[in-house]
Chain A
């Protein structure tokens, strides 16, 4: 079981409030991603759950038991650190076995579990090597091995893929997701990369300035962002925000339209006129950065190739059903 609940969790360092009251319910077996910009408190929140920091207020329940006074090792969680934090003087086997050794398991059982974990992660040939003799991806796998071997109630991941190169990152993303589904163990994963969040998560927690802005499935957040912050943070390229007269015509002080929901047509077709200032041709998609006069710079995404170049006049029209409306304080107006 790995049910985790946060109830009014607060954390401050002196006068600085890092976490301003977080409430959250994480169901057993789900993959939850904490995402947000630098300094939003996502890592602190993870460390609070891990027990590496003391809460200033509130409760953390794991399977219904409040653990705020329980030391990290007794919470039954395991963690994968951003720097991997492998023990440099121990072999891969030693690293993976350490937690079991500390728990006082018999040697034979430790070996059996370590070897099983190594097999799952394709680390068997490297068991006797030291971390410095491994590549970045292999070290990452050792860190994961160390986490899974203890059969924890939940995995905690602290930006584990940020030190890998782009290709490896995509591969490890898949591996981590697959492994989590296979083990059906709760996972909490911290990242600042919203693509990782969208692709890996069952549910996403968007944090900003120490507050939970929204908690929901990736598509939920994409289709029904609660406010301007979530709308702008989730989705790539970023949602276009328009205020002023054009917004008022749609019945809100601010409206948002995602680039993929802007129809691009030749100039003079109605909609918003503009001039292409940069065109990015990816083959599969075309990204247009259009100077739309008073509306500002708008981004449009066209599926497929669209042969436009800077200086071309275009006209942009939003799909009416895909327009997001926000009130003065930035909260979404749901129809």
Chain B
């Protein structure tokens, strides 16, 4: 800031940040409802969750609400169901991320090629994202994955294989497939958008520098995709951590705990077992996990805000 050269940038940022006094007072006023609502929305339930998490509180026996300190956390974190559901959550998130990105990259590259009727193909690829979760889960479960009458079973029999009883033999994998189908369009669309924003002249410069198609891909395209891939990972993670409807309508968390993720575990403790204290403790654990991811996402988006 000390050198005269930086003055212009200061003055311009300053200009953007000031305007006149009149406009500023009004601006605060206009901002207030949104900020106030979101503040309440964030602080009140969270405070209550923290409060409940320290109580022994069951809706079936709502008379006895006693303070139990961190017992609920001890109970929740040492519950074998927590370990299992944490594991399921990680497998679910990790697999869906891997599938959507590993399939999304080639798909985006393909759609970036000269394709006749590209806009129609685009529409077909993006469609699953607009299907409500309960519909996609039930259509997959019944029409495609049914062990007797599902399309997959018929295809397996065509090739002389034994049909897989998806929701008994590989329930978590079945859920993973459904969720991946829903999120593949998102990954593809973002990567495609990023590819299309890649400067054609950069590729031509690489070509003039003697880079072949593969080198261009490795040295120009992949670095260009690094950022959108990060964004895909972070945003998908936020949503995948809380996958719920797909499990709710297909497996109900079972068989056993095989498809119970953290979100579903907390749901079942709260609204099936009515164990408010323990569910609240679990909810806070979920918040902490999400915050770790959010921390990185906010930093990336924030950096973009400066540019």
Give chain A's interface residues, CB within 8 Å of chain B.
13-14, 16, 18, 38-41, 43-44, 47, 51-54, 71, 209-210
Q: Which of A39, A47, A54 contacts B4 (CB 8 A)?
A: A39
Which residue of B has the minimal Cβ distance to A12? B14
In the complex, the 4 A-B pairs of residues with the closest C-beta atoms, listed nearest first = A13-B14, A39-B8, A39-B7, A38-B8
Scan B4-31; emit 1 where CB is below 8 A from any A CB, else 0.
1111111101110111111000000000
Which chain A residues lie closer than 8 Å to B7 at the CB level?
A: 16, 18, 39-41, 209-210
Given contacts A39-B5, A39-B7, A209-B4, whether A16 and B20 have CB atoms under 8 Å apart is no
Which chain A residues lie closer than 8 Å to B6 at the CB level?
A: 39
Which residue of B has the minimal Cβ distance to A72? B20
Instruction: Tell me, yes or no, whether B301 is within 8 Å of chain A by CB.
Output: no
Which chain B residues lie closer than 8 Å to A43 at the CB level?
A: 11
Which chain B residues lie closer than 8 Å to A18 at the CB level?
A: 7, 10-11, 14
Contact A51 B20 (CB under 8 A): yes
A113 to B19 Cα, complex, angstroms: 31
Contact B11 A39 (CB under 8 A): yes
Q: Which of the four size classes fits the interface of chain B?
A: 10 to 19
A210 to B8 Cα, complex, angstroms: 11
Contact B18 A13 (CB under 8 A): yes
Supply 26 A–B pairs (Cβ within 8 Å), ascending by A: A13-B11, A13-B13, A13-B14, A13-B15, A13-B18, A16-B1, A16-B10, A16-B11, A18-B11, A39-B4, A39-B7, A39-B9, A43-B11, A44-B11, A44-B15, A47-B15, A52-B20, A53-B15, A53-B19, A54-B18, A54-B21, A71-B20, A71-B22, A209-B4, A209-B7, A210-B7
Which chain B residues lie closer than 8 Å to A52 at the CB level?
A: 19-20
A239 to B18 Cα, complex, angstroms: 39
A210 to B6 Cα, complex, angstroms: 13
Minimum distance in angstroms from B25 CB to a CB of chain A = 12
Which chain A residues lie closer than 8 Å to B9 at the CB level?
A: 39
Contact B14 A16 (CB under 8 A): yes
Which residue of B has the minimal Cβ distance to A38? B8
Which chain B residues lie closer than 8 Å to A44 at the CB level?
A: 11, 15
A41 to B8 Cα, complex, angstroms: 8
Minimum distance in angstroms from A93 CB to a CB of chain B = 29
Minimum distance in angstroms from A129 CB to a CB of chain B = 30
Minimum distance in angstroms from B231 CB to a CB of chain A = 30
Identify whether the interface residues of B are mostly helix, strand, loop, or mixed: helix
A157 to B21 Cα, complex, angstroms: 24
Which chain B residues lie closer than 8 Å to A38 at the CB level?
A: 8
A51 to B9 Cα, complex, angstroms: 21
A14 to B17 Cα, complex, angstroms: 11
Which residue of B has the minimal Cβ distance to A43? B11
Minimum distance in angstroms from A8 CB to a CB of chain B = 19
Minimum distance in angstroms from A13 CB to a CB of chain B = 3
Which chain B residues lie closer than 8 Å to A41 at the CB level?
A: 7, 11
A71 to B4 Cα, complex, angstroms: 31
Which chain B residues lie closer than 8 Å to A71 at the CB level?
A: 20, 22
Which chain A residues lie closer than 8 Å to B11 at the CB level?
A: 13, 16, 18, 39, 41, 43-44
Which chain A residues lie closer than 8 Å to B4 at the CB level?
A: 39, 209
Which chain B residues lie closer than 8 Å to A53 at the CB level?
A: 15, 18-20
A13 to B7 Cα, complex, angstroms: 11
Which chain A residues lie closer than 8 Å to B14 at the CB level?
A: 13-14, 16, 18
Given contacts A16-B14, A18-B7, 11 further A-B contacts (CB under 8 A): A13-B13, A13-B18, A14-B14, A39-B4, A39-B5, A44-B11, A51-B20, A53-B18, A54-B18, A54-B21, A209-B4
Q: Which of A13, A40, A47, A209 contacts B10 (CB 8 A)?
A: A13
Minimum distance in angstroms from B197 CB to a CB of chain A = 22
A38 to B1 Cα, complex, angstroms: 15
A155 to B35 Cα, complex, angstroms: 41
A40 to B8 Cα, complex, angstroms: 8
Minimum distance in angstroms from B119 CB to a CB of chain A = 24
Scan B215-231; emit 1 where CB is below 8 A from any A CB, else 0.
00000000000000000
A18 to B10 Cα, complex, angstroms: 9
A44 to B12 Cα, complex, angstroms: 9
Which residue of B has the minimal Cβ distance to A44? B11
Minimum distance in angstroms from A71 CB to a CB of chain B = 7
Which chain B residues lie closer than 8 Å to A47 at the CB level?
A: 15
A52 to B7 Cα, complex, angstroms: 19
A44 to B20 Cα, complex, angstroms: 13
Minimum distance in angstroms from B14 CB to a CB of chain A = 3
Minimum distance in angstroms from B252 CB to a CB of chain A = 53
A47 to B4 Cα, complex, angstroms: 20
Minimum distance in angstroms from B268 CB to a CB of chain A = 54
Which chain B residues lie closer than 8 Å to A13 at the CB level?
A: 10-11, 13-15, 17-18
Which chain A residues lie closer than 8 Å to B18 at the CB level?
A: 13, 53-54
A51 to B22 Cα, complex, angstroms: 12
Minimum distance in angstroms from A56 CB to a CB of chain B = 11
Which chain A residues lie closer than 8 Å to B21 at the CB level?
A: 54
Minimum distance in angstroms from B49 CB to a CB of chain A = 40
Which residue of A has the minimal Cβ distance to B17? A13
Minimum distance in angstroms from A197 CB to a CB of chain B = 18
A106 to B129 Cα, complex, angstroms: 53
Minimum distance in angstroms from B80 CB to a CB of chain A = 58
Minimum distance in angstroms from B1 CB to a CB of chain A = 7
